[in-house]
């Protein structure tokens, strides 16, 4: 199994191209199921999750073709064609690999009037049920049955009616499934307390480009008027705000200066505010965002919350950075109950972190030291890479498959800005 080896200590300096967003790609790809015509996505990141989603769509009958990119370039172009759907079942072995597989439920139900999807079960960061996905779909007219670990959803008379649903808790995935289900309904749907993440705006913009009628885009009240059919289009995946934020932390933790090319400030205000409060210099230019370290890092108090709040997907990376701040920081994780799996590994590198339920106190230390570490999820792995970049000595991050889910060509991007980092194969 591959690992990432890092020799810490270099101040990173230069440009990092920001890839297409994983979390946007994973909700744009299932939109192909909503039309018999071709959907072409550009700026699609080369990630394990994108490949897994593509395999799932292939099993359902969607053909996918990818145009290669030249060496040094990022952003693939994928054409997805769901001319005929041959299966409406998303099996356990796919959903188990990638939770976002449940995002085929809404569009398949909308197009075919039925969908059977394995329940995803828990994962390293928490319980992560899909009850809100199912409740929202029921309010839009679906009948739901649960049996043998699967959800079977059907639309009476083959078409959803539309309806109103108010989410008791903000859920990105449930909002996405509900929007994708509602676009082909016979009537109107209103979603209250919908998630407002930029990836949902990207989803709605794609659906509108395919002929859907959606108003309130970017707000927590979405109104969707069902249409008879959608058509194909070509659409560019938005830049990855979490990848950009992670590399901003790389500038901070190494005392360097990085230009995040293609990053969009409006998608990541809470992250940028936190970086600035920490004492980093954040500048905007026409190609992206520059983050530079001036004079050490100040401690912070941060609490995760849905957009526009501080993202849970940035908590682990900030914790690594704050491990070297001048004082004690306070972090609170309000979205996922088990998202501190990186803490024991960061401690092995010399970080001082106390956990009290959902809160963490990070006591800034003078230095971190390299170690062999492993993590159980994507952002936890990135926090260890960040710690390794700043640590004295060598760090080996095991279980690279987590990083490959969400960071396109990580070692290539970091080497290009001065890091001593390589992927090592265990043979
Ligand atoms: C592929 C993708 O886009 N993943 C993102 C998405 O995950 P995902 O869509 O799974 O996250 P949600 O926004 O749905 O989860 C938010 C909270 O709601 C709870 N919940 C969710 C659904 C449900 O039916 N019932 C329920 O109780 C979850 O357990 C969690 O506590 O948003 C998360 C929160 O920003 C991010 O960390 C993930 O990176
Ligand atoms: C939690 C994440 O992703 P997923 O929902 O795909 O597990 C993430 O991107 O940090």
Q: Can you tell me whether residue 129 is helix, strand or coil? A: coil
Which atom, in ligand 2's list, is nearest to the CA of 313? 10
CB 397 within 8 A of CB 1: no
Burial 242-273 (b: 16+ CB within 10 A, else e): bbbbbbbbbbbbbbbbbbbbbbbeebbebbbe
Q: Is the pTM of this model over 0.95?
A: yes
Residue 313 known to bind ligand: yes
132 is in an annotated binding site: yes
Per residue, the 3-state secondary structure of 365-390, as one string, reads CCCCECCEEECCCHHHHHHHHHHHHH
Tell me if 99 is assigned to a ligand binding site.
Answer: yes
Please name the residue whose Cα sits nearest to atom 21 of ligand 1: 171
Choose, from 31, 123, 139, 204, the residue flagged as catalytic: 123
Order of strands across the sheet that contains 420-424: 372-374, 394-398, 3-7, 420-424
3-state secondary structure of 171: coil
Residues within 6 Å of ligand 1 by CB: 23, 26, 99-100, 126-133, 169, 171-174, 195, 312-313, 335-336
Residue whose C-alpha is closest to residue 194's, from 212, 182, 179: 179
State which H helix or E strand residue 123 sits in.
Answer: none
Q: Whose CA is nearest to atom 8 of ligand 2?
A: 313
In tens, the pLDDT along 344-373 reads: 999 999 999 999 999 999 999 999 999 999
pLDDT score for 296: 86
| Confidence band, pLDDT 50/70/90 cuts, at residue 395 | very high
Q: Can you count the helices (H) and strands (E) in the chain?
A: 14, 24
- The reported pLDDT for the residue numbered 214 is 98
pLDDT of 1: 81
Quote the strand ranges of 122-272, DSSP E.
143-147, 150-154, 164-166, 188-192, 213-215, 222-225, 233-236, 257-261
Lowest mean pLDDT among 40-49, 123-132, 143-152, 377-386: 123-132
CA angle 288-294-296, nearest 5°? 125
The residues that bridge with 54 in the sheet, in sequence order, are none
* pLDDT score at 42: 96
Mutate to test the pocket of ligand 1, among 26, 128, 377 (most ligand atoms within 8 A of CB): 128
Q: Could you identify the residue written with the tokens 């649903």?
A: 165
Helix (H, G, I), strand (E, B) or coil at 324: coil
Task: Write down the ipTM of this complex.
Answer: 0.99
Q: What percent of the chain has pLDDT over 70?
A: 100
Say whether 230 sits in a helix, a strand or coil.
coil
Ligand 1 atom with the smallest distance to the CA of 335 is 31
| Mutation pick for ligand 2 pocket among 47, 95, 313 (CB with most ligand atoms within 8 Å) | 313
**Span from the CA of 335 to the centroid of ligand 1 (angstroms):** 8
Half-sphere exposure of 13 (CA within 13 A, CB side): 6
According to the model, what pLDDT value does residue 295 have?
A: 82
Domains and CATH numbers, the chain: 3-18+239-424 (3.65.10.10), 22-236 (3.65.10.10)
Q: What is the pLDDT of residue 427?
A: 64
Torsion of CA 156, 160, 162, 165, to 10 degrees: 80
N-terminal to C-terminal alpha carbon distance within the chain? 7
Angle ∠(312,314,316) on CA atoms, nearest 5: 95
Tell me the C-alpha distance between 177 and 170, whole Å: 13
Q: Which ranges in 79-126 belong to alpha helices (H)?
A: 92-97, 105-112
Gap from CA of 184 to ligand 1 centroid (Å): 24
Closest-approaching ligand to the CA atom of 243: 2
What mean pLDDT do residues 295-302 have? Answer: 94
- Summarised one tens digit per residue, pLDDT across range 213-240 is 999 999 999 999 999 999 999 999 999 9
Q: Which of 263, 198, 189, 272 is nearest to 226 (CA)?
A: 189
280, 297 Cβ separation under 8 angstroms = yes
**Which tens digits make up the pLDDT trace of 330-349?**
999 999 989 999 999 999 99
CA 277 – ligand 1 centroid, Å: 27
Is 338 one of the annotated binding-site residues?
no
Average pLDDT over residues 121-150: 93
With cut-offs at 50, 70 and 90, classify the pLDDT of residue 294.
confident
CA distance 16 to 364: 27
123 is catalytic: yes
Q: Whose CA is nearest to atom 9 of ligand 2?
A: 313
Average pLDDT, the chain: 96
Residues 312 and 242: their CA atoms lie apart, in Å, by 10
- Return the best residue to mutate from 379, 401, 402, 403 for the ligand 2 pocket (most ligand atoms within 8 A of CB): 379
Query: pLDDT tens digits for 23-69?
Result: 999 999 999 999 999 999 999 999 999 999 999 999 999 999 998 77
- Model pLDDT for residues 282-292, shown as the tens digit of each residue: 999 999 999 99
**DSSP annotation string for 51-92:** HHHHHHHHHHT-EEEEE---TT---EEEEEE-SS----EE-H
Collapsed DSSP state (helix, strand, coil) of residue 340: coil
d(CA 142, CA 385): 44
Label the pairing between strands 213-215 and 222-225.
antiparallel
**Mean of pLDDT values over 165-174:** 98
Q: Which atom of ligand 1 is nearest to the CA of 242?
A: 39
For residue range 379-394, what is the model confidence (pLDDT) as tens digits? 999 999 999 999 999 9
Please indicate if the annotation marks 222 as binding a ligand.
Answer: no
Could you tell me the distance, in angstroms and rounded to a whole number, from the CA of residue 172 to the centre of ligand 1?
5
124: confidence class by pLDDT, cuts 50, 70, 90: confident
Sequence-separated (6 or more) residues with CB below 8 Å from residue 205: 217, 235
Q: Is pLDDT above 90 for 72?
A: no
Question: What gap in Å lies between CA 34 and CA 180, rounded to an integer?
Answer: 8
148 sits in the region (left: phi over 0; alpha: psi -120 to 50; else beta) called: left
Q: What is the mean pLDDT of the segment spanning 118-135?
A: 90
Residue ranges around ligand 2 (CB below 6 Å): 23, 99-100, 125, 313, 378-379, 406
Q: How far is the CA of 171 from the centre of ligand 1 (A)?
A: 5
């Amino acid at each position: 199994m591959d690992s990432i080896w890092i020799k810490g200590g270099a101040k990173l300096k230069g440009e990092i191209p920001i890839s297409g967003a994983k979390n946007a790609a994973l909700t744009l790809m299932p939109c192909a199921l909503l039309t018999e015509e071709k959907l072409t996505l550009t700026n699609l990141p080369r990630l394990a999750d994108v490949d897994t989603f593509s395999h799932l769509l292939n099993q359902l009958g969607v053909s996918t073709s990818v145009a290669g990119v030249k060496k040094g370039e990022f952003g693939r172009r994928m054409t997805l064609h769901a001319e005929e759907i041959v299966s409406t079942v998303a099996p356990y072995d796919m959903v188990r690999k990638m939770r976002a597989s449940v995002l085929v439920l809404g569009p398949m139900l909308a197009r075919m009037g039925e969908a059977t999807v394995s329940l995803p079960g828990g994962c390293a960061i928490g319980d992560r049920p899909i009850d809100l996905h199912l409740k929202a779909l029921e309010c839009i007219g679906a009948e739901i049955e649960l049996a043998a670990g699967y959800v079977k959803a059907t639309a009476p008379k083959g078409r959803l009616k539309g309806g109103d649903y108010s989410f008791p808790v903000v859920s990105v995935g449930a909002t996405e499934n509900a929007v994708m289900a509602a676009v082909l309904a016979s009537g109107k749907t209103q979603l209250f307390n919908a998630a407002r993440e930029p990836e949902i705006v990207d989803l709605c913009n794609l659906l509108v480009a395919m002929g859907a009628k959606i108003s309130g885009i970017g707000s927590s009240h979405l109104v969707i008027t069902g249409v008879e059919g959608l058509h194909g289009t070509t659409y560019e995946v938005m830049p990855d705000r979490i990848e950009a934020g992670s590399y901003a932390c790389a500038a901070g933790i190494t005392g360097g200066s990085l230009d995040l090319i293609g990053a969009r400030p409006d998608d990541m205000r809470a992250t940028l505010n936190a970086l600035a409060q920490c004492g980093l210099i954040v500048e905007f230019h026409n190609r992206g965002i520059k983050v530079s370290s001036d004079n050490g890092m100040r401690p912070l108090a941060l609490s995760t919350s849905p957009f526009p709040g501080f993202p849970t997907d940035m908590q682990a990376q900030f914790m690594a950075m704050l491990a070297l701040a001048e004082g004690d920081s306070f972090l609170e994780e309000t979205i996922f109950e088990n998202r501190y799996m990186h803490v024991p590994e960061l401690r092995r590198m010399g970080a001082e972190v106390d956990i009290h339920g959902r809160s963490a106190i990070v006591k800034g230390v003078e230095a971190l030291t390299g170690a062999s570490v492993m993590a159980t999820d994507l952002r936890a792995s990135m926090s260890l890479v960040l710690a390794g970049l700043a640590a004295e000595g060598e760090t080996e991050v095991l279980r690279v498959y987590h990083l490959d889910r969400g960071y396109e060509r990580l070692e290539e991007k970091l080497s290009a800005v001065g890091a001593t980092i390589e992927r090592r194969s265990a043979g």
